[in-house]
Amino acid sequence: MEITLNNRKEIFEAETMTVTELLQIKNFTFKMLIVKINEKLIRKEEYSSAIISDGNQVMVLHLISGG
């Protein structure tokens, strides 16, 4: 499947994957993440059930706190 991840085309062998699987494959390890699929915010408790399909636009942003 081909998706747009953070405004870049990415190709994966799977036909679909969950947000959890994507985070593991791409090694996103930050504790505070914001994930959107096609502009829809995905809650952390939904990562294992939220499905990413061919053609989806996915944004994974990490929050940095500071002062």
CA distance 61 to 43: 13
Per the domain annotation, does 48 fall within a domain?
yes
Per the domain annotation, does 32 fall within a domain?
yes
65, pLDDT greater than 80:
no
- pLDDT per residue as tens digits for the range 14-54: 999 999 999 999 999 888 999 999 999 999 999 999 999 99
- pLDDT per residue as tens digits for the range 5-20: 999 999 999 999 999 9
67, pLDDT greater than 80:
no
Q: Output the pTM of the full model.
A: 0.90
Task: Give me the CATH number covering residue 23.
Answer: 3.10.20.30
CA distance 57 to 52: 9
The DSSP 8-state label assigned to residue 45 in this structure reads G
Per the domain annotation, does 18 fall within a domain?
yes
CA distance 12 to 35: 18
Number of CB atoms found within 10 A of residue 19's CB: 24
Per the domain annotation, does 10 fall within a domain?
yes
